[in-house]
């Protein structure tokens, strides 16, 4: 049986709670990612910021004019990060992770072992599995020949 550790991205890109929205946007753009785990200096998972969070923060700033001369991108991540997030062990099952993600409509699960962030598994990882399984099925399916 395959486990989370077989599929997860190890050493995911992370930021600290003191980093800004601008830092998160730059990291997402540079690496083509949509989820950033927020960790403390000991690499303990403390939150998560998604691409959707960045868009929502930018939209809320446009909707509510502010009297301060502060750019939305200067906001620290601890102001918008999700703190009550689910995580999974690297020894967890892939099926249970996929079912959880589908049921709760989340795009990723941070992977935590002994309190430390060790990886991340995303919905894109499961799409990769599906593609590989479909390719295997195509190789196994008999070819129909018209007579």
Burial of 101 (0-12, 13-18, 19+ CB in 10 A): buried
Question: For residue 129, what are the CA distances in angstroms to 13, 51, 114?
Answer: 22, 23, 27
35, part of any domain: yes
144, part of any domain: no
113, part of any domain: yes
The tally of domains found in the chain comes to: 1
103/108 Cα distance (integer angstroms): 12
Evaluate if residue 66 carries a pLDDT over 90. Answer: no
147, part of any domain: no
What does the CA dihedral 80, 86, 92, 93 come to, rounded to 10 degrees?
-90
127, part of any domain: yes
Per the document, the length of the chain is 147
The tens digit of pLDDT for each residue in 111-142 reads 999 999 999 999 999 998 889 888 888 877 66
The tens digit of pLDDT for each residue in 38-48 reads 999 999 999 99
78, part of any domain: yes
* CATH number (domain holding residue 128): 3.10.580.10
> Would you give the DSSP letter of residue 42?
T
The tens digit of pLDDT for each residue in 16-39 reads 999 999 999 999 999 999 999 999
If we measure between CA atoms, which residue out of 104, 111, 97, 96 comes closest to residue 14? Answer: 111
Give the residue numbers spanning the domain of 106: 4-139
145, part of any domain: no
15 three-class SS: strand
Q: Which two tokens stand for residue 135?
A: 């390719």
146, part of any domain: no
Q: At what angle do helices 51-63 and 21-31 cross, to 10 degrees?
A: 140
What mean pLDDT is predicted for residues 60-76? 61
């Amino acid at each position: 049986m395959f486990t989370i550790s077989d599929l997860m991205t190890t050493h995911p890109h992370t930021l600290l709670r003191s980093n800004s929205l601008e830092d998160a946007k730059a990291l997402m753009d540079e690496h083509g990612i949509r989820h950033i785990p927020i960790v403390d200096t000991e690499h303990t998972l403390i939150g998560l910021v998604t691409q959707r969070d960045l868009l929502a923060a930018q939209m809320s700033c446009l909707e509510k004019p502010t009297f301060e001369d502060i750019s939305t991108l200067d906001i620290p991540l601890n102001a918008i990060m999700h703190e009550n997030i689910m995580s999974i062990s690297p020894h967890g099952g892939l099926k249970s992770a996929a079912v959880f993600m589908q049921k709760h409509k989340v795009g990723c699960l941070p992977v935590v072992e002994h309190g430390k962030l060790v990886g991340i598994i995303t919905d894109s990882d499961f799409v990769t599995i599906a593609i590989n399984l479909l390719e295997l099925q195509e190789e196994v399916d008999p070819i129909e020949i018209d007579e």
